[in-house]
Amino acid sequence: MLKPTQAYRQWLKQLKERIRSAQIKAALKVNAELLTLYWELGREIIEKEKEVPWGQGLIEQLSKDLLSEFPEMKGFSVTNLYYIKRWFLFYNQQDNPILPQVVAELSKNQKLPQPVAKSKTKKIVQQTAALIVPQLVGQIPWGHHREIISKCKDINEALFYIAQTAEHNWSRSVLVHQMETGLYKRKGKALSNFEYTLPAPQSDLARELLKSSYNLDFLGLGEKANEKELEDALISHLIKFLLELGNGFAFIGRQYMVKVEEQEFFIDLLFYHTRLHAYVVVELKIDEFKPEYAGKLNFYLSVIDDKLKTKDDQPSIGLLLCKKAGKLVVEYALKNMNKPMSVSEYHLTEKIPAKMKGKLPTIKEIEAGLKEIAE
CA angle 76-77-78, nearest 5°?
115
Residue 232's Cα: distance from chain center in Å?
A: 25
Task: Specify the pLDDT at position 296.
Answer: 93
Q: Provide φ and ψ at 284, rounded to 5°.
A: -105, 135
How far apart, in whole angstroms, are the C-alpha atoms of residue 194 and residue 191? Answer: 9
Task: Specify the pLDDT at position 78.
Answer: 92
281, β-bridge pairs: 270, 318
Task: Specify the pLDDT at position 112.
Answer: 41
pLDDT per position as a tens digit, 279-306 = 999 999 988 999 999 999 999 999 999 9
Task: Specify the pLDDT at position 17.
Answer: 87
Count other C-beta atoms under 10 Å from residue 338's C-beta: 11
Task: Specify the pLDDT at position 50.
Answer: 82
Summary count for the chain: helices (H), strands (E):
16, 7
Task: Specify the pLDDT at position 85.
Answer: 92
**Cβ contacts of 85 within 8 Å, gap of 6 or more:** 42, 45, 46, 59
Task: Specify the pLDDT at position 53.
Answer: 67
How far apart, in whole angstroms, are the C-alpha atoms of residue 338 and residue 193? Answer: 9
The ranges of the chain with pLDDT < 50 are 96-125, 128, 351-367, 369-375
Task: Specify the pLDDT at position 131.
Answer: 52
Query: What pTM did the predictor assign?
Result: 0.62
User: Please, is 114 exposed, middle or buried when counting C-beta atoms within 10 Å of its C-beta (0-12, 13-18, 19+)?
Assistant: exposed
Contact 179, 152 (CB under 8 A): yes
Task: Specify the pLDDT at position 132.
Answer: 53
